Chain A
């Protein structure tokens, strides 16, 4: 019996281990191959560095220009996270308000949609005109982009509480607050966390786009400005370096919220529960 089980289990164990290794190894391999091809293209065609810099040069630029890029990264990060925080507070607050009354939702939801579908790049110049403080203007732009997924997902989540459970709460004479606290908010959690993952990336995009539009110079300039500046000076390696930093930031934000989501949901939600079949 035990022998049979071992034999049955082992190949599966092995295939699982192979898959686990492949999960990290394959993307890394693809990345390495791409970089090598990139390098070869630059070398074989003898491309000048102001058209396409070789990966080594980009890495060197990232190292040498760290003194310029790092403060810019911090500026971009600050706007991104402030915007995200305000988006979470605003989106969740508004969603809870919507959940209280259908009439409020009917009245305001279309405007939330309008805010979302109007391209931020088209609105940003106006916001920069009306809001004197550039920093706050950037924040508003990033917030507009980030808050909609949180609002719409949380609204959906708050409304998707199990109907029989709502009946049960009714049966025990639960107050509106109790229904919200013990039923609607926990039901909305997976939806909210899904929205948060999207909003994290969007707030970065929002802040970069707004910064491009603002083109603000001097102190307190973020990565987008450094890209513009490097472009004017034909310092293409630095453009790439800044771009890599933005990408890396986006990836880290995504991974961070994926981990947060997993930690919160791992006990009960299908999306986070590992199942053996």
Chain B
């Protein structure tokens, strides 16, 4: 079904287990291949280990068993090529928008002057030109999330990991950010792994949905969303969209009974 992806996946999780110190088995025999340029959603009920899987991919924590490989990378390590967006904007409140976005480059010892152009470019991409000097508390929730996305994109990552980034936003803002994110994804060459518990959001955004079951967390269904891009607000009301939503909901229902 996904020949191109399985041929040369960007990242491959094979038989991954994750056992936390408190005895919780968050993941059990999780398998997932993510191909280059894919937009994959990890969809599942809360507590199914989707965030844990994302953190393992990011290198924040070690799998208890199994492997996470980067087949397309020489040496197998891809850490610096990853951008991560948390559920909360997770900005430094004492730093301006510029300094927040500059952070990943600063940590990689890029001089401030040299980074200025890239920061400006990425802020323009997320629609925040002119807000360089603002502090996070002066921004709305949606704008903070845009800063967070800009920060993840400033290093030009090949893989963008997003952990329910829009869950705390109101629907209007969420739809807008959904569209902007799709636009960015389509114009760039990155791969996205997007964690969500919303069927509608995952169908709208992804070209593939990995449905996860809880206790222990694992992938139970791998669905392709074949609807062509660009997708816009018209797509949200289309029959195709509704059919996919129904299909994914059914699959999620089965996962929750499993």
Q: A167-B60, A267-B135, A268-B135 are in contact. Are A172 and B90 (CB under 8 A)?
A: no
| B47 part of interface (Cβ distance < 8 Å) | no
Q: Which single residue of chain B is at the shortest CB-CB distance from A265?
A: B94
Complex Cα–Cα for A121 and B95 (A): 44
Is A254 in the interface zone, CB < 8 Å from B? Answer: no
Among listed A16-24, A80-88, A181-189, A195-203, interface-contacting one: A181-189
Q: A164-B88, A267-B135, A268-B135 are contacts. A172–B107 as well, Cβ < 8 Å?
A: yes
Q: Of residues 218 to 277 in A, which have CB atoms within 8 Å of B's CB atoms?
A: 267-269, 273
Q: A261 → chain B, closest Cβ, in Å? A: 13
The count of chain A contact residues (Cβ–Cβ below 8 Å) is 20
Whether A168 touches B90, Cβ cut-off 8 Å, given contacts A173-B80, A182-B103, is yes
Contact indicator A268/B94 (Cβ below 8 Å): yes
In the bound complex, CA of A269 to CA of B86 (Å): 22
Q: Which of B55, B94, B106 contacts A189 (CB 8 A)?
A: B94
B84 within 8 A of A: yes
The one of A171, A183, A189, A268 that contacts B137, using a Cβ cutoff of 8 Å = A268
CB pair B135 A182 closer than 8 Å? no
Is B79 an interface residue when CB atoms closer than 8 A count as contact?
Answer: yes
Known: A267-B135, A268-B137. A172 touches B93 (CB 8 A): no
State which size class the interface on B falls in.
Answer: 20 to 34
Q: Does B58 contact A (CB under 8 A)?
A: yes
B residues 92-132 touching A (CB-CB < 8 Å): 92-95, 103-104, 106-108
In the complex, B59 has a CB within 8 A of chain A: yes
Which chain B positions have C-beta within 8 A of A104?
none
Which residues from chain B contact A171 at a C-beta distance below 8 Å?
A: 58-60, 79, 82, 84
Complex-state Cα separation, A165 to B89, whole angstroms = 10
**Residues of A contacting B92 with CB < 8 Å?**
165, 182-183, 186
Does residue A162 face the partner (Cβ distance < 8 Å to B)?
Answer: yes
Interface of A is mostly: helix
Across the interface, do A174 and B93 meet the contact criterion of CB distance under 8 Å?
A: no
A171 to B80, CA, bound (A): 7
Using CB atoms, name the residue of chain A closest to B83. Answer: A171
A118 located at the interface, meaning its Cβ lies under 8 Å from any Cβ of chain B in the complex: no
Expressed in whole angstroms, the Cα–Cα distance for A217 and B175 within the complex equals 78
A173-B79, A173-B80 as given contacts; A269 in contact with B106, CB under 8 Å: no
Q: Does A170 contact B (CB under 8 A)?
A: yes
C-alpha gap A167/B107 in the complex (Å): 13
A164 nearest CB neighbor, chain B only: B90
Chain A residues near B94 (CB-CB < 8 A): 186, 189, 267-269
B residues near A273, Cβ cutoff 8 Å:
137
**Can you list 29 pairs linking A and B with CB atoms under 8 Å apart?**
A164-B88, A165-B92, A167-B55, A167-B60, A167-B86, A168-B84, A168-B90, A168-B103, A170-B60, A171-B58, A171-B82, A171-B84, A172-B104, A172-B108, A173-B79, A173-B80, A173-B108, A174-B107, A182-B92, A182-B103, A186-B92, A186-B94, A186-B95, A189-B94, A268-B94, A268-B135, A268-B137, A269-B93, A269-B94
A residues apposed to B, CB below 8 Å: 162, 164-165, 167-174, 178, 182-183, 186, 189, 267-269, 273
